[in-house]
Homo-oligomer: A and B are copies of this chain.
Amino acid sequence: MKSTLSGFPELLPQERVVETFVQDTLRSTFELHGFSGIETRAVEPLSALESKGETSKQIYMLERLQGIRDREQRGEQSGGVGPNDLGLHFDLTVPLARYVLENANDLHFPLRRYQIQKVWRGERPQDGRFREFCQADIDVVGSQHLAFHHEVEVARVMLDALSKLPIPPVLMEVNNRRLLQGLLQEVGVQDFDAVLQALDKLDKVGQEQVAQQLSGDGLTDSQVEKVLRIAGITAKSGASLRAQVEALGLESDLISKGLDELCALLDGANEVAPGQVEASLRIARGLDYYTGSVYETVIPGATGIGSICSGGRYDALAVRGGRTYPGVGLSIGVSRLVSWMLSQGFEASRPTPSVVFVAVLSEDQRDKSDAIATQLRARGIPTEVSPKAARLGQQLANAEKRGVPYVWIPGDGQAHVVKDMAAGTQETVEDVASWQVPGKDLPVRVYRRD
């Protein structure tokens, strides 16, 4: 992976095989769970993009070159940006909300949709962040109502998808906004959002600094101590979580409902990925539109890359004409994940789609090699034909350099010879139709190089 243009990474063909494998695996898992794929246009009007607030600085605005040139020629100044001007989307949630509203009459609710697409953020290049990256989102969106069990479901779908990648088992950390808000209310916290924002920094800056900030926000020492005790709670089972929360001695309907939900999420998700889901009451997720479950997912040991799969429940993804669309969704940072995998030595079992490289004995026998390739392809075996009827040794070297595992040497009146490049062995083959690719070699696999 390299970026000749800062923030816009590109992959070599063999690296792209890894990314494609990840995207395919996610997509097929999402479809296995009955999620429909959609794509939304890359652009939204500024008014829609800015409705989310804090990310607005990172928006890339678009303008037609012709418009700029025409204006310059007329000696006019730019009229600034207006709400209808177009910018590139910076996530897939804002577009989903619009898509749901526009197509509400043609969609079935709850809508189960996945979306694997690029997003763009005009980050400052010195931050070393991606300005263009791929996300893979799933959301379940209801009309007026969305049952809680979907908050468990989306976690299970993502855990299923991530378990099919050749990465170490992930740890999904979950929390519940109701529970957290209920507990903080009973502690006497007034400014819920300020405390959430402070807690969001716990991992980065540590307890002491967060305590200072909370004091600065007007919390008493006793309140700060209680908030930090709450934020310190983690549990791997509903029973353990319930015991720890009850030991706080704080009670309210909100706490009770939030605790029930978080226990159900924890136990329901752990059922499909034992030990991989943990309730952690410090998980706040900055965005203030989350109202129920919130999720973050890390690869243990992969420090520095942060959460690779996050999201939450929002009671109002979109609202129009007295109708509200609640949702719950999770988003995988595909580019972030793939970039980490590549840095860790993950690679594809072969760098190119071709399984067979058919040699060409002489240019006037190219049609013979083409015919063999056509027969192999008809049987689903990716095949390329040597670009040049060079000396056989050169063709073998070329196939090896390209990473094609088998070289087919057409029989010139006699049997064909197929060379296994890795093993250094060869076999004679009488009939193209009878040759089988050793099972391990047909589908591309991705694994970590030793």
* Chain A residues within 8 Å of B, Cβ to Cβ: 4-5, 8-14, 16-17, 19-20, 30-43, 45-46, 56-69, 72, 77-78, 80-81, 86-88, 99, 102-103, 106-108, 110-113, 118, 120, 122, 132, 142, 147, 149-150, 153, 160, 272, 351-354, 357, 366, 374, 377, 380-385, 387-388, 398, 401-402, 404
Complex-state Cα separation, A46 to B68, whole angstroms: 13
Complex-state Cα separation, A370 to B205, whole angstroms: 41
Complex-state Cα separation, A19 to B110, whole angstroms: 23
* A271 shortest CB reach to chain B, Å: 8
Point out the residue from B57, B69, B118, B387 that lies within 8 Å of A110, measured CB to CB: B387
Verify A34–B122 contact, CB threshold 8 A: no
Verify B80–A354 contact, CB threshold 8 A: no
Verify B13–A36 contact, CB threshold 8 A: yes
Verify A80–B88 contact, CB threshold 8 A: no
* A308 shortest CB reach to chain B, Å: 20
Question: Contacts of A62 on B, CB cut-off 8 Å?
Answer: 60-62, 88
Complex-state Cα separation, A77 to B38, whole angstroms: 40
Point out the residue from B10, B20, B60, B68 that lies within 8 Å of A65, measured CB to CB: B60
- Give the interface centre of A5, A32, A374 by most chain B CB atoms within 10 Å: A32
Given known pairs A68-B80, A99-B10, A132-B42, the reply for A382 and B61 (CB within 8 Å) is no
Complex-state Cα separation, A8 to B99, whole angstroms: 13
Identical copies in the complex: 2
Question: Contacts of A66 on B, CB cut-off 8 Å?
Answer: 57-59, 122
Verify B147–A387 contact, CB threshold 8 A: yes
Complex-state Cα separation, A68 to B81, whole angstroms: 8
Complex-state Cα separation, A142 to B388, whole angstroms: 12
Verify A65–B77 contact, CB threshold 8 A: no
Complex-state Cα separation, A4 to B98, whole angstroms: 10
Interface of A, helix, strand, loop or mixed by DSSP: mixed
The residue in chain B whose Cβ has the minimal distance to the Cβ of A56 is B65
Complex-state Cα separation, A93 to B387, whole angstroms: 22
Complex-state Cα separation, A37 to B56, whole angstroms: 33
* A119 shortest CB reach to chain B, Å: 10
Verify A16–B43 contact, CB threshold 8 A: no
Question: Contacts of A19 on B, CB cut-off 8 Å?
Answer: 39
Given known pairs A10-B99, A12-B106, A12-B107, the reply for A352 and B113 (CB within 8 Å) is no
Verify A118–B12 contact, CB threshold 8 A: no
Complex-state Cα separation, A34 to B404, whole angstroms: 9
Verify B60–A63 contact, CB threshold 8 A: yes
Verify A352–B16 contact, CB threshold 8 A: no
The residue in chain B whose Cβ has the minimal distance to the Cβ of A68 is B81
Complex-state Cα separation, A9 to B120, whole angstroms: 20
* A132 shortest CB reach to chain B, Å: 6
Verify A61–B65 contact, CB threshold 8 A: yes
* A289 shortest CB reach to chain B, Å: 21
Verify B65–A46 contact, CB threshold 8 A: yes
Question: Contacts of A108 on B, CB cut-off 8 Å?
Answer: 398, 401-402
Complex-state Cα separation, A450 to B88, whole angstroms: 40
Complex-state Cα separation, A385 to B387, whole angstroms: 52
Verify A354–B34 contact, CB threshold 8 A: yes
Complex-state Cα separation, A228 to B439, whole angstroms: 57
